[in-house]
Amino acid sequence: MSASSLSAPSFRAIASSSRRALSARHAFPSTVPRLAKLPTSSGTRDKSAVGVFTPKAAALFAVTGAALFFYFRSEKDKLQEQRRKEKEDQVVGRPQVGGPFTLTDHKGKTFTEKDLLGKWSLIYFGFTNCPDICPEELDKMSAAVEKLDKEYGPIVQPVFISVDPARDSVPQVARYVSEFHPRLVGLTGDYATLKATCKAFRVYFSTPPDAKASDDYLVDHSIFFYFMDPNGQFVDAFGKVSTEEDVVERVKKEIARWEGETGRKV
């Protein structure tokens, strides 16, 4: 059959069928699967796929974790201290802290609670062989008193009371307090007297009653210094988390309140 004998519709059908067959023969899939990454010649995987965790990165991770741990623990302690003070502010009246005592100062003279009347006072209980906490707290207290002295004069009396009567003799206490504020008064006494004084101020201490000066021991005790008003009444207590600025601001606030209510200055 010649092309001339074909009708026009038949010729168009044959041409269309040929084009479809040709298109199918040369068609490719719309997507081509990716080849998986093969191991390198050394048998190790591509570092870009798994990352690099070097000893230096591990050390940095450990240091950062430790820093965050101590930061959040410090913030937690500050929050607990703030909540404690807020609860005390909500209580009607003041806690029964303090009372009569008769001790010996670092100059060998008798010193009682009456010697603190008429002045504000900051009182810390500790011992002269304390390796770190007592010196740190006394440094903080002394620095706060120095700032208050510049603004008000010597109206705040710093006091150190020993909880280690066996080793803290009068000469020993005298040497110790000379390392801090020049007006710091050091007090000591026998075991029974100091125990009664600590009980009045709600101070815990673990000194053995039969301890000797030659014994080697540490003393566990409460880590607070107490803020007392000119009438010998308890105002507040500052713990280890309290800063020097906290002490200064609290004392200034109480002085302003006192002067406003009484109309007189110390």
Annotated binding-site ranges: 130, 134, 221
Q: What are phi and psi of 216, to 5 degrees?
A: -110, 110
DSSP classification of residue 131: -
Query: Reduced to 3 states, what is the DSSP secondary structure of residue 198?
Result: helix
Q: Which residues are annotated as a binding site for Cu cation?
A: 130, 134, 221
Q: Indicate the angle between helix axes 133-152 and 244-262, nearest 10 degrees.
A: 40
Amino acid residing at 25: R
Q: Which residues of 20-56 are buried (b: 16+ CB within 10 A; e: fewer)?
A: eeeeeeeeeeeeeeeeeeeeeeeeeeeeeeeeeeeee
Instruction: Please tell me the distance from the alpha carbon of residue 126 to that of residue 187, in angstroms, as a whole number.
Output: 10
